[in-house]
Amino acid sequence: MSNAVHISLNVSDLSRSADFYRRFFGEPRKLKSDYAKFVTEDPVIHLSLMPAPVRIGDGALSHLGIRVETSDAVRAWRKALVERGLPAEAEKREDCCYALQDKFWVSDPDGNRWEVYNVIEDAPETADAACAPNACCATPGASA
């Protein structure tokens, strides 16, 4: 078994969230009345969903991301998600978090934002390259 990332999210509606992640990652490995688990192969992610009271936009989580090898892979991911009915934001090339990146964003039913991105090149360490509250990776509606 290879190393893997495990993420466990509280969700307000397991059915809606399971439907979103089914379109995002494919069929769940486990699906119970109070639990869903998705296991992906590339990248290796184990994602668990559990119903719990959730207030959209609250919490310490900024966002989640999947880094892919090429800009073509970013476009392929976006195309596949749109074909599966997920509203993905338009692909953008931007300076973000000290790197020039190609990326797009998608949000789950509880507002957890996922980016699929490729780092084209690292950027110099300047204040403009950091993730400020209103920068590229900030939660929509956040202000500086």
Structure tokens at 6: 């495990």
Q: What's the average model confidence in pLDDT over 92-112?
A: 87
pLDDT class of 22 with cuts at 50, 70, 90: very high
Structure tokens at 30: 């486990």
* Lowest-confidence segment of 41-50, 95-104, 120-129, 133-142 by average pLDDT: 133-142
Q: Which CATH architecture has domain 1-51?
A: Roll (3.10)
Q: Kindly report, residue by residue over 46-69, the tens digit of the pLDDT.
A: 999 989 876 666 666 778 999 899
* Cβ-defined contacts of 24-30 (< 8 Å, 24+): 24/81, 24/84, 24/86, 24/106, 24/108, 24/114
Residues of the chain with CATH 3.10.180.10: 1-51, 62-131
Radius of gyration of the chain (CA): 16
Protein fold of 62-131: 2,3-Dihydroxybiphenyl 1,2-Dioxygenase; domain 1 (3.10.180)
Would strands 99-107 and 64-67 be described as parallel, antiparallel, or unpaired? Answer: unpaired
How many Cα atoms are found within 13 Å in the side-chain-facing hemisphere of 130? 6
Dihedral angle, C-alpha 6, 10, 14, 16, nearest 10 °: -90
* Lowest-confidence segment of 54-68, 97-111, 116-130 by average pLDDT: 116-130
